[in-house]
Amino acid sequence: MNPRQPFVNLERLSWTAGCLLLALLPHLKSLPAWIISTIALATGIRLALAWHGRSLPPAYLRLAVSATAIALLFIQFRTFNGIDAGTALLSLMAGLKFLEARSLRDIRIIILIVYFLSLTALLVGTSFGLLFYLLGVCWLTTAILLRLTLSQPAPGLRDSLLFSARLLLLALPLAAALWLFFPRFSGPLWRLPSADSAAQSGLGDRMSPGDLSELSLSDEVAFRVRFDGAAPPPSQRYWRGPVLEDFDGRSWKRSESAQIGAPAPQPLGPAYRYTLSLEPHHHPWLLALDWPAQWDAPRAYLTPERTLLQSEPVNQPLDFNAVSHTQIQDESELDARQRRRDTRLPQQRNPRTLALAQRLRAQSGGDAEFAQAALELFRRETFFYTLTPPRLALDSVDEFLFDTKRGFCEHYASAYAALMRAGGVPARVVTGYQGGTYNRFAGYWIVRQSDAHAWNEIWLQSRGWVRADPTAAIAPERIERGSEALYGMDSAAAGTWSPLLEEFGLRMDAMRQLWREAILRFDQGSQMSLLRSLHIPEPDAQKLALLLAAALACTSVWLSWQLQSGLRSRHTDPAAIAFARLRKKLQTKGIAERPSETALELAARVRLQRPDLAERVGELCRQYNELRYGRSGVAAHAIRQYADAVRRFKA
C-alpha cells in the first residue's frame, strides 16, 4: 500500500457503506438475492473488523470469493453487457471492494461506483421522484467524498453538504447544455427494454366474478389522456380493452382469432383526437377510447373485436396519438361462425337464468326490445352495487340474479351477457375503464385502476355491435361506496382535508406528466423542434453539434468566472489580508515575497535567513493555517486577535 495513503477508520467506512446502501435501494427488485446477500455480508464483515480493530481477511481468501462471485454472476446472466448484468456486476464489485478497503483510494473507488449505480438507476427508472432521490444520493455522496480529505481535521458534515450543494448547482448549466443539444437517438433515451414483466397490473384476458375488485380499490394510474378539444361526455367515456367472448358458465376469457384487422364501420357523431400516455401493464393491448379509428402507436393493429394490440407487452411507458368515434353503425351481416360463438352457453349451467331469458324474450318483440327489457330488470329489482359482494358458487349467474343481487360491474356484465345469449342475441363482455378525473392544473384526464370497468356489446341487425352497460341502469342511491371506511376518517375530517389532498395530488400528478412529456419523451425530433423554435433554418445534426459547442463554450466561460470570483473572495478574507501584511513586513527585511509559497514554507525560509525572527514568524504562520484551513466556524474575535498580532509584529 502507498505509505502516503492512510488507513481508513470506522467512521469513514460507515459513511461509505451508507452511500452504497442508498445507491442500491432502487436496484433491490432487479438484483438477484444472492448478490444482495453477498454485498451485505462483505460490508458487515468489513465494518465488524474495523470495529474490533482486526486485520483484513487473507488476500487468497478475498481473491477466491471474488472469483467465485463473478463466475456465478456470469452463469446467471450469460454476459457482462447490458443494463441488468452491468448493474449486477457494478454492485458486486462495490461489495467485494468494500471487503478489502483499507485506504482512502479504496474508498474513493467505491464512491465512484456509487455514482455509476445512481446513473444506471436513472437509465432504467422513469419515476418522477426517482430523479430527486438520486440527486439526493449524489449530494450526500459528494459531501462524504469532501470529508475524505487528507487534511486534518476533516471538514464538518454541514460545511461539506453546503459545498456539495454548491458544486451540484454549478454543474446544472453544463448538464442542461448536454441534455438539450447532445445528439440523440431516434427514440427517447428511456425507451430501453425491461426484463421485469413479472408484476401484473391492470386488466387481464380472463374475468370471473370478483376479479376487478382489487383494481376498483387501487388508486394507481392506468393512463392519462389529453384531448385536442372538448372531451366526450361521461356517458361515452369508455376506454376499450380486452373483449371476452368465451364463457364456461362462470368465467369469461378472450377468444383467440387468427384474423388481423376489422371491417370499418360507419362512424357516427364527432371524432375525438387525443394523446394517451399509457403506464406499463405488462400486457399487449393498448387502451383506446371506444371505438378507435386511427392511431400512431408502433406495431399496433386492430383485432376483429376492435381492440388495439401490439406485438409485445407494454413494459415501458407508451405515448401515442389516436382518433376515436364513440358511436358507430355497422350494416354488415354477422357471419355464422361468430354468431355461434357469441350465442354459445354451457349446457346444464345456470338453468334459472335460461328460463328467465326465455320469459323476457316471449314478452318482447325483437332483439332491441329484449335487450331493453333485460336492462329494465336491473332497474326494477332490488339490485345493489357493492365492491364487497358475497362469494358465488358454480352457477354464479343464477346466484347473482336470484339470490345475492349484490355485486359490481363484472357481475352485472356477466349476467347481462348470459341473459342475451340465452335469448338468442349475440353478446360479449368488454373490459376496460370508464370515466376519469380531470386535472384542471394541466388540462388532461387521469384514468386510474379504480376506474376499471366491464360492460357489454350486443349485435343488433343494421346497427352492428351496440354498447350496453347494465351497471349504469342501477339507481345511484342503491350504490354502496363506503368512502368513510376506505379513508379511515370521520366525515368532518374528510370534508376538511379531502379537497386539500385532492388538489395536492393533482398538482403532483401534473408535475409528473410534465416530467414525462418534457424529459422522458425528449428525443431527436424534440431537438429538431427546439432548433426550429430558436429560428435556426433547416436544422440538422451539424447545426445541433455547433450549437452544443457554443453552449459548452458559454458554460465554460461562466464556470471560469465563478472560479475566479471564488479566488478573488479569498483575498477579502481578513486572515488572508493580515497574512499579506506580514509578508510585506518581512519583505522590508530582505525576505522576498513568493506568491506560491505556503505559510509553513515561509516559516521554514525565515528560520534559515533570520533565525532571530523564526519563533515569532513561525507562530504567526501556524495561527494563519489554523484560521484558514483548520476547523470550520472560526470566531470573528480570533481573526481580530490575529490581525492585531500581525500589526504589532515588527521585523
Q: Which residues are catalytic?
A: 409, 453, 469
- Could you write out the three-class secondary structure of 373-388? HHHHHHHHCCCEECCC
- Expressed in percent and rounded to 5, the helix, strand and coil fractions of the chain are 55, 15, 30
- Which single residue is written with the C-alpha cell 418534457? 518
By the 10 Å C-beta count (0-12 exposed, 13-18 middle, 19+ buried), 343 is classed as: middle
Q: What's the rounded Cα separation, in Å, for the pair 456 and 244?
A: 10
| Ramachandran area for residue 535 (φ above 0: left; ψ -120 to 50: alpha; else beta) | left
Residues in a beta bridge with 301 = 309
**In residues, how long is the chain?**
651
By the 10 Å C-beta count (0-12 exposed, 13-18 middle, 19+ buried), 208 is classed as: middle
- Report which secondary-structure segment, H or E, holds 15: helix 10-24
Q: What's the rounded Cα separation, in Å, for the pair 317 and 277?
A: 7
- Which single residue is written with the C-alpha cell 474490533? 52
The answer to whether residues 257 and 342 touch, using CB atoms and an 8 Å cutoff, is no
Q: Do the strands 384-385 and 406-407 form a parallel or antiparallel pair, or are they unpaired?
A: parallel
How many alpha carbons fall within 13 Å on the CB side of residue 437?
A: 21
Q: What's the rounded Cα separation, in Å, for the pair 241 and 227?
A: 19
The helices-and-strands tally (H runs, E runs) of the chain is: 21, 19
In the chain, the amino acid numbered 614 is A
Grid coordinates representing 25 are: 435501494
**569: number of Cβ within 10 Å:** 10
Q: What's the rounded Cα separation, in Å, for the pair 44 and 38?
A: 10
Candidates 317, 252, 263, 323; CA nearest to 288 is: 323
